[in-house]
Amino acid sequence: MKLNLKRGQSFRDASFMGIMRRAFYNRLKEKHPDAGTAYGYTAKDTRIRNGLEKDHAVDARCTGGNPKSIPLDAVYMQKAAGKRNRQIHKAAVNKGGKRKLNQSPKYAFGFQLFGRVQMPDGRKGFIFGRRSSGSFGVRPLDGERLSAGTGRKKLKPLEKRKTILTERSMRLPPHA
C-alpha cells in the first residue's frame, strides 16, 4: 500500500525568529533592565479602549504606553540597500568558454545606484535604475515611479548612497 502524502510548509523561519527574539531580548535586558515585551493583542485592546483608529503609528503608540500622545507630522521610511552585486560572472558561459562579467561600473556619469537626487520639478527620490546612455530611473521609497528615464543633466545629486536609505514624507491620512 502506497501513501500519497505531501510535506507541509516549513516552520524553520518561525522557529529561528522565536529563538532569536528571546536571545535579543535577554541581551537587551542586560543593558537596559527596564525593557519589557509587548504583544499585539495589548495594543489592540488599548486602541479600542481609547477610541483610536487602526494605524501602524497608532499601534506603536499604544504598545509604548502613550496612546493619546500627539503624532509627528511626518513619516520616516527606511529601506536597506545592498552594498554591491556579489555575482561576478553571468551564469551562462559563452562559446569558447569565456565568462561574461555581471558587474556594472560603480558610477555612471557621477551617479551611483541608490543615490538621492532631485528631479527637475523639485521632487526627490533615489536612483533605482541606471543606464550607460545616461538616463536614470528615479523612485521614492514607497515605490511610486517618478521617472523611468531622466537624463543625467536634468538630475541634481543631493546625497551619496548609504546602506540604509531614509526618506521623510508627510503623514498620510489614516486608512478608511
Q: What is the pLDDT of residues 114-162, one digit of tens each?
A: 889 988 888 888 988 888 788 888 888 887 888 888 888 888 889 888 8
One domain, residues 17 and 85: no
The answer for 110, left when phi > 0, alpha when psi is -120 to 50, beta otherwise, is left
Residue 115 to residue 129: CA distance in whole angstroms: 11
- The answer as to whether 8 is a domain residue is no
Which residues form the domain of 33? 13-71
One domain, residues 51 and 107: no
The string of pLDDT tens digits covering residues 3-54 is: 888 888 888 888 999 899 999 999 999 999 998 888 888 899 999 999 999 9
Q: Please give the distance of CA 172 from its chain centroid, rounded to a whole number.
A: 18
Using alpha carbons, select from 47, 49, 74 the residue that is nearest to residue 58: 47
One domain, residues 136 and 109: yes
One domain, residues 146 and 93: yes
Number of structural domains (the chain) is 2
What is the pLDDT, as a whole number, of residue 29? Answer: 94
pTM of the model: 0.59
What is the pLDDT, as a whole number, of residue 145? Answer: 82
Contact 158, 118 (CB under 8 A): yes
One domain, residues 42 and 59: yes
**SS3 of residue 22 by DSSP:** helix
